[in-house]
Amino acid sequence: MATANHNLSNYDKATIPNAKDFRFGIVVSEWNDNITEGLWQGAFEALIDCGAIKQNIVRWNVPGTFELTYGAARMSKSIYADSGMLDAIIVIGCVIQGETKHFDFVCEGVTQGIKDLNLKGDIPVIFCVLTDNNMQQSIDRSGGKHGNKGTEAAIAAIKMAALRKETV
Ligand SMILES: Nc1c(NC[C@H](O)[C@H](O)[C@H](O)CO)[nH]c(=O)[nH]c1=O
Ligand SMILES: CC(=O)[C@@H](O)COP(=O)(O)O
């Protein structure tokens, strides 16, 4: 189903576990920050709406989407003295097609990198990366007419944190 037929901000709290006991890490790319800040806001607000505690949400910034993999890998190894390991990580980026093939390599690199972290690591890493043809498509998906992919990612993070807890 294309995003055009599925608003990214829609969720039913009755189908989502309470997030009050979960710890979340969010790694945010600074490239296209007019978009990534909107995605961050959507994710943060949805986590809080579903019961997460503000002190249990850790944010790190990285220069661009390609660095999200390293940021998530380092964050997954970080022990938070006051709360222990994280329960889920969300990586937030926005890649927009330019004049060259660089778009393809950044998108492929982050996709494979995050996939590998999910296969090899113990903490689920949620892929909140827009890979758009133009800025308008990114605007539409970061709080515009198609909703907010950050919201969608937050719900996925809660559900995967619950799955991880249930399958220990
Ligand atoms: N063009 C975009 C980039 N490019 C930068 C890379 O992500 C990376 O930071 C650089 O190659 C150094 O390693 N990043 C985005 O997030 N979005 C873009 O549209
Ligand atoms: C995704 C990118 O790296 C891209 O926006 C860079 O633009 P260009 O391909 O014109 O150098």
Structural domains present in the chain:
23-166 (3.40.50.960)
Nearest CA to ligand 1 atom 19: 95
pTM of this prediction? 0.96
Q: Are 20 and 53 in contact (CB under 8 A)?
A: yes
Residue 80: the pLDDT is: 64
Annotation-wise, does 59 bind a ligand? no
Q: Which of 102, 115, 145, 165 is catalytic?
A: 102
- What are 137-141's contacts with CB under 8 Å, separation 24+? 138/32, 138/35, 138/94, 138/96, 139/35, 141/3, 141/8
Q: In which residue ranges of the chain is pLDDT below 70?
A: 1, 79-84
How confident is the model at residue 3, as a pLDDT? 76
ipTM for the complex shown: 0.97
How far is residue 120's CA from residue 138's CA, in Å, rounded to a whole number? Answer: 30
| pLDDT in the model for residue 101 | 98
| pLDDT number for residue 98 | 98
Q: Give pLDDT, residue 66.
A: 98
Catalytic status, residue 102: yes
Cβ 25 under 6 angstroms from ligand 1: no
